[in-house]
Amino acid sequence: MARVDSVTKLLILLFAVLLLVWLLFGRKRVPRDTAGPDRPTRGGTTASAEGMVACAYCGVNVPVSEAVHRDGLAYCGAAHRDAGPPPGHAAGER
């Protein structure tokens, strides 16, 4: 019966060591693992919720990254950028 006691002691010691290792290393990983997947998901959401700007020529809303800028105005494409703002749109004109 003395044998069983020594084996049980060894198992308890092993469990204690494993618990200590988990407390030291396992716990630290948890915040990193939870923070990791959150960021890519958030980034994808922000990409779709990107700011929209209205074309100065036709008024169509286009994502900021796809808009063409000229003279401080945003356009939906190069064609409308080259066409410029429609007559009467210029500041000062009523």
Exposure letters 49-61 (e unless 16+ CB within 10 A, then b)? eeeebebbbeeee
Measured from each CB, the residue nearest to Zn ion is 55
Cα distances (Å, whole numbers) of residue 4 to 11, 15, 22, 79? 10, 16, 27, 86
CB of 46 to Zn ion, least distance (A): 25
| Residue placing its CB nearer to Zn ion in the complex, 23 or 79 | 79
| Residue placing its CB nearer to Zn ion in the complex, 3 or 80 | 80
CB of 86 to Zn ion, least distance (A): 10
| Residue placing its CB nearer to Zn ion in the complex, 73 or 76 | 76
On whether the CB atoms of residues 85 and 73 are closer than 8 A, the answer is: yes
| Residue placing its CB nearer to Zn ion in the complex, 50 or 82 | 82
- Residues lying near Zn ion in the complex (CB under 5 A): 55, 57-58, 76, 80
CB of 22 to Zn ion, least distance (A): 60
**CA–CA distance, 90 with 44 (Å, rounded to integer):** 37
